[in-house]
Amino acid sequence: MISFIELKHKTESLNSIVILEQYLNYRLRYFLKKILFITSTIGLFLLLISLESKKIPVGDVANFFNTYVFQIRAVFFLVFSLWMIVKLLDAFFYSVYFDTDNVATFELARTLYFSNPDDLTKSFFQSYQGKIILMRLGIDTKIFGEFLNNRRETVNDVEFEMADDIDGFITMADYGLALFKFDQELQNFFMAQGLTEKEFVKTIEWVKNTEEQKISNGIWWTREKLAKIPSLGRNWSFGKVYLLEKYGHSIYQDKNYKYLGGKEIIYQKYTGELQNILLKSEGANALIVANTSDIAMNVVSTLGRVLINGHIHSALEDHRIFVLDAANLIDSLKSKIEFEATFREILIQANDAGNAFVVIPRLPNFIDSAHELGVDVAEVLAEFLSSSSIQIIALADDRGFHQSLETNKNLMQHFEKLVIKKIDDSGALNILEEEAVRIEVQYDIFFTYKALEKISESAVRYFADSEYSDKILDLIEEVKIKTLTEGKYFVTEKEVTEVVALKTGVPQGAIGEGEKEKLSGLEEILHQRVIGQNLAIEAISKAIKRARSGIQNPNRPIGSFLFIGPTGVGKTETTKALAESFFGDEKNIVRFDMSEYNSYDAVEKLIGGTEHQTVGTLSAKIRENQYGVLLLDEFEKADKKVHDLFLQIIDEGKFTDVRGEEINARNLIIIATSNAGSDLIYQASVNDKEAILEKDKIINAIIERGIFKPELLNRFDGVILFHALKDEHIAKIAKLMLKKLEKRLLEKGIKIDINETMINYLVEVGRNPQFGARAINRTIQDVIEGQIAEGIIDGKITHGSLVKFDFNPQSKELKIVV
Amino acid sequence: MNFLLIIPYYFSWHYSQGILDYFRVWKNLIWFLWNFFSIKVLLKTFFTPFQRLKETYSGGLDLENFATSIIVTNLMRVVGVFARSALIIFGLISLTIFIVGGLLGIIIWLVLPFAVLWLMFISIIALIK
């Protein structure tokens, strides 16, 4: 452990520039340099004129210069010497700031230098970076001020200590974390603000990196900066690659390179291997396989960085890296002949140039798209792959590689494979951090860390089908536009959730007032459509509230339920009501009749077949409707393998289709319905028992009959029992349905008298355990609507008629009375 | 005034780390010039045809084609040699000037703080008078 005094001692070597910054900070120096440079240039000009004043034809001007020649000189030398002083102080600042002997960062030194020994926490947040950190955390300064004033205890320099296990520089993040761990009240405050320790540390790192980046922008004399100046005559010895410039770009213009930032450390070890592959005497082509092609591209970008810094193997130092824009190539060239000729010409030019590395991102996709045009990319490539003057760096993600490259022996023999182990690219948020700062420079908005975190999270959860970096950049762009159009300054989690909710239709983030009402009254809302089934509705409402409060497991579907009960007791109606209340529209249901999936090839039908490369119905439909209710009717009739498939989907919230593509099911509410065991449920109601009380018995019977495996039943968030309907429920349903009919008839100007006779008749029909409420619907259609229709056609019923129905005891049917 | 505390810090830097930094920057700039004029590449590819422009000879008994190919390729070689020689010479001259200048520069660096202060001092005196 090290004490505060020891820590402060470690930063002492930076105190000189801490003092310099206190009186003459680098922004001020920047402006002084500009002003002094301009004035000394003017001074120099005047000085030169004064030296030649005798030659000036205009007498007055000549006199002026003659009289003031000494003053002009004096002013020039004064301004010039001041300019030099600022320049030297600048050099001094940068030298100390970036001194490799430092054990701590400048910002930490500055914070410690000005710290009040009696209250380290307050000093931390009142430091130059502390204030920015607070804003990035999205904490209201007023609320924080109140917290500071109302603390019971403060952390002082005597009691504070931090772990002495930091490799490299000690930064503000290390000190901030130590303070956080030490200060229980600060921890409680952050927790109340919804901030975690990790978010706090990451925010400090972001602020630190941004500041360091700004300062390093002032330096031009490092090798890295100098190397970026294009050299003369280098291309004289190598051919031009016009077409590659048209249908591609240099690695240094690539989006991925732009956002590489500090991530190069992760990929550096792979660039060594990549160089070894590229150094081979001939056929030195690399295929980089990673879990995403973004990651594969990061390796190439890192190679670009190594190349520009001159740290590359000498045999490769004159090379240029070009990235082929395959999508652009395919979009602009529509015909097979044109495409094939252009692609070949691109490779010929690159080959003749003699120093080109041609990067083909997402090679499997490129092969597929070209295949649609009838072009065999592999064949064209093969002509060049054994040449020693062109080198191809192809990229593929794991999936694409296994699917279309691995088996292509002809193509693979020309490539040496470089497999990137599954990388936890924790630098992924860096892309957003850099982009946010870039946006802030251009527009008057300010991002909080939570907003970036939410963008990253949402990108993974809701937009699973494109590359991660594309998704997050699209999302931050949309958030930016929304914030600007609404005239806001702070971009918080709320602004992001609004954009995501708008894009997906899935309610997000903090629960709004209107929604709060809706959620707390969810049971009543569901009851407006579903009659009876109190316990079932209660169980579902609870599960939905849990999902909406954000405490559910994000790696599973929003909810998953198995509805068990006889036909026509409200299972489908509940599903519709749920879709309406949760996703805003009852049409947000993807329905599968699972009785169609009971053959041996059922799984193949659902996720696609290998043999004929068919697309699975389930994969296709979920891909189209990622947000909604997935209704699996008559689930018990599906093949056992289908049950196993859904066991996995419910468990992991995703599945892989036949093409190896991952399909995201985490934004669905999965509802499986079944009338397994409905005989028992009906029996219970005949014996006047609450079926729900017999739930265990019924479920056990279902397992014993081998309808569902216990592990499948356990995966569902809830197995919900729908009891058989009682007369009072059937009567209510009948009334509800007749009301609907009444409304439809009124639109045609026909009135109907809904009376007890009709309802009693319908109750009698609806008591049928085989059909339940569905029978009522059918009877209304066949008997009631049928007779009305006949009446309309016969002309007996016209606009303004009042229709009545009576029970005919002889035929035991309802008869119309107009 | 606290600000004056910087002066001893500055002077100790100027004559220790400052000198090392001076050489480091000097070295970087020499490397830059060497790189900027592509001297190594130009020497390595001294006889390569200019921008690799050439007529490709497809083989066979086509004498005219064969002759054109040889002439064009060698012409481009000559163009390349001239252009490269010019740039290499220019680059080497710049490098020499810079290296010599840098050595003189170190003397300036050593007297710079005093020179600047002296300059400031005399200009203030001149203005007051």
Determine whether the interchain pair B10/A16 forms a contact, defined as Cβ–Cβ distance below 8 Å.
yes
Strand partners, A452: none
Query: Which pLDDT band, with edges at 50, 70 and 90, does B57 fall under?
Result: low
CB A88, CB A191: distance < 8 Å: no
Query: Which pLDDT band, with edges at 50, 70 and 90, does A463 fall under?
Result: low
Percent of chain A topping pLDDT 90: 29
What CA–CA distance (Å, rounded) separates A91 from A193? 42
Nearest Cα to Cα of residue A36 among A4, A76, A66: A76
pLDDT tens sequence across A578-590: 888 777 777 788 8
Residue A304 burial by Cβ neighbours in a 10 Å radius (0-12, 13-18, 19+): buried
**Residues in Cβ contact with B39 at an 8 Å cutoff, skipping those fewer than 6 apart:** B88, B91, B92
Average pLDDT over residues B55-60: 60
Q: Return the structure tokens found at A811.
A: 């035929």
Strand partners, A287: A394, A417
Determine whether the interchain pair A221/B37 forms a contact, defined as Cβ–Cβ distance below 8 Å.
no
Contacts A236 to B, Cβ<8 Å: 42, 45, 50-51, 80, 83-84
What is the structure's pLDDT at A812? 73
pLDDT tens sequence across B24-35: 999 999 999 998
What is the structure's pLDDT at A466? 60
pLDDT tens sequence across B90-109: 999 999 999 999 999 999 99
DSSP secondary structure letters along A411-479: HHTTEEEEEPP----TTHHHHHHHHHHHHHHHSS-EE-HHHHHHHHHHHHHH-TTS-HHHHHHHHHHHH
What CA–CA distance (Å, rounded) separates A516 from A514? 5
Q: Domains of chain B: which residue ranges?
A: 2-128
What CA–CA distance (Å, rounded) separates A680 from A717? 23
Catalogue all structural domains in chain A, each as residue range(s) with its CATH number: 1-219 (no CATH), 225-229+239-419 (3.40.50.300), 428-503 (1.10.8.60), 514-721 (3.40.50.300), 727-817 (1.10.8.60)
> Among partner residues A95, A229, A353, which is closest to B52 by beta-carbon distance?
A353
Chain B residue closest to A226 (CA)? B32
pLDDT tens sequence across A644-664: 999 999 988 888 877 667 788
pLDDT tens sequence across A191-212: 888 899 999 999 999 999 999 8
Distance from CA of B21 to the nearest CA of A (A): 7
What is the structure's pLDDT at A686? 66
Helix (H) or strand (E) holding A161: strand A161-162
CB A567, CB A771: distance < 8 Å: yes
Residue with the bigger pLDDT between A288 and A622: it is: A288
Per-residue b or e along A616-637, where b marks 16 or more CB atoms closer than 10 Å to that residue's CB: bbbbbebbebbbbbbbbbbbbb
Chain A residue closest to B27 (CA)? A223
Average pLDDT over residues A439-443: 92
pLDDT tens sequence across A543-560: 777 766 766 677 788 889
Average pLDDT over residues A29-39: 94
Percent of chain B topping pLDDT 70: 93
pTM: 0.70
Q: What is the ipTM of this complex?
A: 0.88
Average pLDDT over residues A414-440: 80
Query: Which pLDDT band, with edges at 50, 70 and 90, does A20 fall under?
Result: very high
Determine whether the interchain pair A238/B52 forms a contact, defined as Cβ–Cβ distance below 8 Å.
yes
Determine whether the interchain pair B112/A88 forms a contact, defined as Cβ–Cβ distance below 8 Å.
yes
Contacts B53 to A, Cβ<8 Å: 239
Candidates B38, B44, B55: best to mutate against A (most CBs of A within 10 A) is B38
Average pLDDT over residues A706-713: 88
Contacts B41 to A, Cβ<8 Å: 233-234, 237, 318
> Among partner residues A84, A240, A352, which is closest to B116 by beta-carbon distance?
A84
Query: Which pLDDT band, with edges at 50, 70 and 90, does A321 fall under?
Result: very high
What is the structure's pLDDT at A542? 83
Q: Return the structure tokens found at A459.
A: 């990108």
Query: Which pLDDT band, with edges at 50, 70 and 90, does A346 fall under?
Result: very high
Widest Cα–Cα separation across chain B: 92
pLDDT tens sequence across A743-800: 888 887 888 888 888 888 888 777 776 677 777 888 888 888 888 888 888 888 877 8
Chain B residue closest to A14 (CA)? B9
Average pLDDT over residues A379-393: 86
Strand partners, A168: none
Percent of chain A topping pLDDT 70: 93
Helix (H) or strand (E) holding A753: none
CB A116, CB A171: distance < 8 Å: no
